[in-house]
Structure 1
């Protein structure tokens, strides 16, 4: 009898072990297999939250099939205590294992609301925008000029959210004075900028910052990035250029940056100036004259006067030989590369062609014909107003 009972007990134990093994296999498969999420979502994890609260939210959003299994999996993989606050993009069909990785791996938020401060040549603009997880595109909620000092309510709402991301996007061609003034107007930054940064040494790029980030530290990041770009471009420069130092390369790149907004023209524009330097011809470029008039403080807002073109100043390349004494703006990486690796051309002249680009010429006669066409376009535009 006891042998029979023991045999039954052993059989039951084996059945239980097999069932538990099967349960573990099922659980592991369910934990790692694609989930039920039909389209991507933005999951917001509040500061101080826990896996129970997150798993409940995911279950309500129909992103997981079992909130209990989600928590068990987090405990089993030793990630339950690594939850990060923020807004996270959860892709469609994400497994529970993948979701746990997303909310515990750290780093910045990957969706939700962001505040982007765009610093351009002619204006500044703050954009408040939110990522639509379904389309992967940002939708604008507000945009305004912070220099005007009027902040919309939508900005105030997201400004205080702990998971809001902040970026400063610096456009090519802005001057250091313009950038410093714009950064001073950004109320989500703190601290003061010691001095106007050296002209040309702020790298146009997009910079992720935290709310309350120090302005001078951000400027230092911009300078460090530009130094690295300039060093790399100088190391990869073409042979036999008529410039002797990285500083001269930066000056030339800033002129190229101000002379064209067409990416495909940069190396041609650079070739014109390089050819002129080789021949000892004056550069005769309006942006340098304008910089001499404005000192980089804002936009001229009008055409150059004859008296300004005739006046001898360090930046008037109609009157001086060679390069001006310093950069006239902050050039981007593409302009740095174009200045140090210009196209191989015989070109010596260019003028606007009415399409946003330029007409290039090798001879003065060709250039004069291009200028005449441009003047005609200007007159037609004036008469049509």
Structure 2
């Protein structure tokens, strides 16, 4: 009997050694991939065995039961992180397990460009292949409600930046992040705003910032452009800025701004109406927000493009008209 017990013990030890060796071989050998790169998404709440099935369906030859055993024996069975992942040829089961439990996800990016309109933001979102298009078919009001925005118009509310996300993330989630970032930055700039500005709220500052964004792409000119519009608002002078007129024309604008457009009244025509338009006209960047709330201290009331990307600024209409004749040969400036 004692010899039988010894033999059984030896067989058990041998079996354990074989099992450990098999598990080690499984853990450390390169996995077969159907393509050079395989990507997959692990849903929230997935088990290790369930995740392994998803990975195998994506094109990685792996045994779900073996990965689950490896995870359990190494104490990682409950540490799997949801997200999108990529693996390339040469990856081992152990490396895959470490990736899954470290949350080494693959992130895609979406960029909002300074000066884009909300229509352009939506078009770019809907064209992005790695986003889940849950904003498609929603009205602007529905989108704002779902991201927790209190405003009634989406224009200007989304901060231009590059946003990283997991593959198949929600469009609404990206918009919510961009909205919250704009709120944060405008509120911070508003708290540190210059004295005696003719702006009643952070939203009015956002409107002005969007105009500044569309009027110049030159960093050095932004604070000066901001000063022109602030000075005009202070004295009740019309802003007379072409980008607001163009925005008011909407899809009917064909790229050619005509004199009749400047005299045709719309809520956005700052040639026919005094003060700010009712909403922003684009997504302003941080520099334009700062230019609206911390403009240069000048007496300028006019500016005209020089043709090299910069602008000439004037205090009087006579000086401005001379600059227009010099730089635009009969053209029109602000």
**Normalized against structure 2, the TM-score is what?**
0.64
SS in 2 for 1:327: coil
- Give the distance between the partners of 1:86 and 1:188, measured in 2 at CA: 13
Of 352, 362, 366 in structure 1, the residue corresponding to residue 319 of structure 2 is 366
The verdict on how the C-alpha distance between 1:53 and 1:179 changes in structure 2, with shifts beyond 3 A counting, is same
The answer on whether the counterparts of 1:354 and 1:377 sit within 8 Å (CA) in structure 2 is: no
2:193 alignment partner in structure 1: 237
The answer on whether the counterparts of 1:51 and 1:83 sit within 8 Å (CA) in structure 2 is: no
The verdict on how the C-alpha distance between 1:368 and 1:208 changes in structure 2, with shifts beyond 3 A counting, is same
Q: Is 1:228 matched with 2:184?
A: yes
The answer on whether the counterparts of 1:288 and 1:324 sit within 8 Å (CA) in structure 2 is: yes
- Give the distance between the partners of 1:173 and 1:369, measured in 2 at CA: 30
Deviation per CA, 1:348-379: give whole Å up to 9, x if none. Answer: 1011101012111111111111111222398x
2:158 alignment partner in structure 1: 202
The verdict on how the C-alpha distance between 1:259 and 1:50 changes in structure 2, with shifts beyond 3 A counting, is farther
1:34 alignment partner in structure 2: none
**Normalized against structure 1, the TM-score is what?**
0.56
Report the CA distance between 1:254 and its aligned residue.
0.6
1:351 alignment partner in structure 2: 304
SS in 2 for 1:318: coil
The answer on whether the counterparts of 2:186 and 2:206 sit within 8 Å (CA) in structure 1 is: yes
Deviation per CA, 1:6-35: give whole Å up to 9, x if none. Answer: xxxxxxxxxxxxxxxxxxxxxxxxxxxxxx
2:292 alignment partner in structure 1: 339
Deviation per CA, 1:22-56: give whole Å up to 9, x if none. Answer: xxxxxxxxxxxxxxxxxxxxxxxxxxx997458xx
- Give the distance between the partners of 1:237 and 1:50, measured in 2 at CA: 62
1:177 alignment partner in structure 2: 119
- Give the distance between the partners of 2:290 and 2:234, measured in 1 at CA: 19
SS in 2 for 1:356: coil
The answer on whether the counterparts of 2:80 and 2:103 sit within 8 Å (CA) in structure 1 is: no
Structure with more relative contact order (C-alpha pairs < 8 Å, separation 6 or more): 2
Question: In the TM superposition, what are the counterparts of 1:158-177 in structure 2 within 5 Å?
Answer: 163=106, 165-177=107-119
SS in 2 for 1:360: strand
Q: Is 1:291 matched with 2:247?
A: yes
Of 249, 253, 262 in structure 2, the residue corresponding to residue 309 of structure 1 is 262
2:211 alignment partner in structure 1: 255
- Give the distance between the partners of 1:260 and 1:248, measured in 2 at CA: 19
SS in 2 for 1:183: helix
- Give the distance between the partners of 1:374 and 1:253, measured in 2 at CA: 26
The answer on whether the counterparts of 1:314 and 1:324 sit within 8 Å (CA) in structure 2 is: yes
The verdict on how the C-alpha distance between 1:377 and 1:368 changes in structure 2, with shifts beyond 3 A counting, is closer
Flag structure 1 segments of 5+ consecutive residues without an equivalent.
1-48, 55-78, 89-101, 110-162, 379-385
SS in 2 for 1:350: strand
The verdict on how the C-alpha distance between 1:210 and 1:318 changes in structure 2, with shifts beyond 3 A counting, is same
- Give the distance between the partners of 1:350 and 1:310, measured in 2 at CA: 20
- Give the distance between the partners of 1:53 and 1:376, measured in 2 at CA: 74
Of 301, 325, 328 in structure 2, the residue corresponding to residue 375 of structure 1 is 328
Deviation per CA, 1:217-272: give whole Å up to 9, x if none. Answer: 11111111111111111111111000111111111111011100011111110000
Q: For the aligned residues, what is the CA RMSD?
A: 3.2
Question: In the TM superposition, what are the counterparts of 1:125-144 in structure 2 within 5 Å?
Answer: none
The verdict on how the C-alpha distance between 1:253 and 1:53 changes in structure 2, with shifts beyond 3 A counting, is farther
- Give the distance between the partners of 1:377 and 1:51, measured in 2 at CA: 76
- Give the distance between the partners of 1:50 and 1:233, measured in 2 at CA: 57
* Equivalences, count: 241
- Give the distance between the partners of 1:377 and 1:307, measured in 2 at CA: 17
The answer on whether the counterparts of 2:324 and 2:330 sit within 8 Å (CA) in structure 1 is: no
The verdict on how the C-alpha distance between 1:50 and 1:279 changes in structure 2, with shifts beyond 3 A counting, is farther
- Give the distance between the partners of 1:190 and 1:290, measured in 2 at CA: 32
